Amino acid sequence: MMPDATHPPARRAAALLGRMVLGAVLLGPILALLLHASSTHWFFPRLVPAEWTLAPLLRQLGDPRTRAALGASLLTAGITTGIALLLGLPAARVLGLRTFRGRSLVLLVLFLPNIVPPLAIGMGLNVLLLRLGLAGSIAGVVLVHLVPVVPYAILALLGVFARYDEGYELQARTLGANPCQVWLRVALPLLWPGLAVAALFAFLVSWSQYVLTLLVGGGQVITLPILLFAAVSGGNPTSIAGLALLFAAPPAVAIALAVRALAAAAGQPARGMS
């Protein structure tokens, strides 16, 4: 078979498509929000706002409620990410490196919580958490976030392990590396890019939870999406846009960085992950 799949025009077209989608998805909404947030008078049918000012945006950032919500969001997403990686690494290793008959089944089941309406799961879990006294606490919110986050972490890590060759570890062992050295000097450098992507995925999925946080947090755990949605109900467009920008900017930056890192890695010749 000839490698016509590596046709440069096709590759270039794919890269261009990627950039365009990336641009549209990341920059479009943020630009719109930025326009909203920095304007005071912007009504149909004007294409750009009549006046510009950063004052509303800065006012939003100075609000202690906003800062508290930012803290709660960072804390929840951070802890959730850490636990999800710890749980996901061994699971993804088994699922990615071994092939057994029920594998596709296990994967489907793993992913169910993301497919099954989160409302149904959230409410089912809420009954449990209420009885455990964890409802309304960060711990409870983290526990509930793990339900959709762990599958994402496993999914991201699966891709890494699908290309991971245990032979490197075997090789290192016979060269005299003890298990700890094998992990630090061989497995970690090989898995590093994939781990970073998985952490990013996990963080973002947790960061953007709204329904589950609301259900389990019961109005006591106020994360950014909760605050944002409250503002949406309130109806002040400038305040909404400010919060939305705050909410969307860190993920956008993180993703842009990850994409650049991945693109750089893709430019290098074959490594542990390509």
Binding partner selected for residue 44 from other proteins, its own copies, none, CB under the kind-specific 5 to 8 Å limit: its own copies
* Residues 183 to 202 in contact with other proteins, rule: CB under 8 A: 185-186, 189-190
Residue 181 sits in the site that holds other proteins (CB under 8 A): yes
Decide whether 15 or 184 has the Cβ nearer to its own copies. 15
DSSP state of 182: I
Give the count of beta carbons closer than 10 Å to the beta carbon of residue 121.
19
Binding partner selected for residue 125 from its own copies, other proteins, none, CB under the kind-specific 5 to 8 Å limit: its own copies
CA distance 82 to 14: 34
SS3 67: helix
Return all residues near 29 (Cβ < 8 A) that are at least 6 apart. 248
Binding partner selected for residue 2 from its own copies, other proteins, none, CB under the kind-specific 5 to 8 Å limit: other proteins
Residue with tokens 């898995």, as numbered in its chain: 191
Q: Residues touching other proteins: how many (CB under 8 A)? A: 30
Decide whether 168 or 210 has the Cβ nearer to other proteins. 168
Binding partner selected for residue 153 from other proteins, its own copies, none, CB under the kind-specific 5 to 8 Å limit: none
Query: ∠260-266-267 over CA atoms, to 5°?
Result: 90
Residue 233 sits in the site that holds other proteins (CB under 8 A): no
Contact characters 244-273, other proteins, x per CB under 8 A: ------------------------xxxxx-
Q: Which amino acid is at 124?
A: G
CA distance 193 to 272: 9
The single residue among 68, 111, 114, 173 that binds other proteins, judged by CB under 8 A, is 173
| Nearest distance, CB of residue 177 and other proteins, angstroms | 4
CA distance 88 to 195: 10
Compute the half-sphere exposure of residue 43: CA atoms within 13 Å on the CB side of its CA. 1
Smallest CA-to-CA distance from 217 within 94, 154, 125, 148 is with 125
* Residues 130 to 169 in contact with other proteins, rule: CB under 8 A: 165, 167-168
Scanning 75-83, 118-126, 174-182, 231-239 for contacts with other proteins by CB under 8 A, the matching segment is 174-182
Contact set with other proteins (CB under 8 A): 1-4, 6-8, 165, 167-168, 170-179, 181, 185-186, 189-190, 268-272
